[in-house]
Chain A
Amino acid sequence: QVQLQESGPGLVKPSETLSLTCTLSGGSVSSSSYYWSWIRQPPGKGLEYIGYIYYTGSTNYNPSLESRVTISIDTSKNQFSLKLSSVTAADTAVYYCARIPGANSVTDYWGQGTLVTVSS
């Protein structure tokens, strides 16, 4: 059974870098069938696609965040990661890691999400 689990600090100071890791169980991030994604949801608000990565390391980022985002993959640990630099309070959100079964496809499995608060 596919499970995704986010981990990382729940509190980040303004101007610093948010770093999260997603660990996959019940599958392999090296699979050629899937893309691995990050999506966020500010408290009480809607969903925003951040980007995705393929096992080859190829990435796709939301242009609105592209200058600050890096998504990477570690096939040896079966993990992929998100870094978001120069954070502000507007980056406070629940961050989800998720699976996309194809380049233009839905998001079929989601992690439980982790709340990251940006505050001094």
Chain B
Amino acid sequence: DIVMTQSPDSLAVSLGERASINCKSGQSVLYSSNNKSYLAWYQQKPRQPPKLLIYWTSTRESGVPDRFSGSGSGTEFTLTISSLQAEDVAVYFCQQYYRTPFTFGPGTKVDIK
């Protein structure tokens, strides 16, 4: 299995400030034939299912605000919220879909400072 790790476990950021979450995969999730990293980010609010935010490392899902951005390649990735809003309080998970079993990071809890 491809092990996914995230850091930090949690962070608190002031409204309007930047929040960054890191994700590492135990092996590369970059597919050389299309030069795409098979890495996604999800947001999960309490008592809700996860919501897809970003796929192919940096492509925002339709309707996702542009304050959310993704970057990275290979084994190291970052989700950035450029200006934290109250509605962004949630747990964020990264996921690799390069190889089954698809695996998720343990999650990072984002809160307001």
Encoded as 1 (CB less than 8 Å from any B CB) or 0, chain A from 39 to 64 comes to: 00000001111010000000010111
A104 to B98, Cβ gap below 8 A?
A: yes
Which of B48, B50, B51 gathers most chain A CB within 10 Å?
Answer: B50
Q: Which among A7-15, A26-34, A107-115 touches the partner chain?
A: A107-115
Interface size class of B (residues with CB under 8 A): 20 to 34
Given contacts A46-B105, A46-B107, contact A106 B49 (CB under 8 A): no
Across-interface contacts of B93 in A (CB, < 8 A): 46-47
Minimum distance in angstroms from B99 CB to a CB of chain A: 8
Q: Helix, strand, loop or mixed for chain A's interface?
A: loop
Encoded as 1 (CB less than 8 Å from any B CB) or 0, chain A from 86 to 120 comes to: 00000000001010000011111011110000000
Chain B contact residues, CB within 8 Å of chain A: 1, 38, 40, 42, 48-52, 55, 61, 93, 95, 97-107
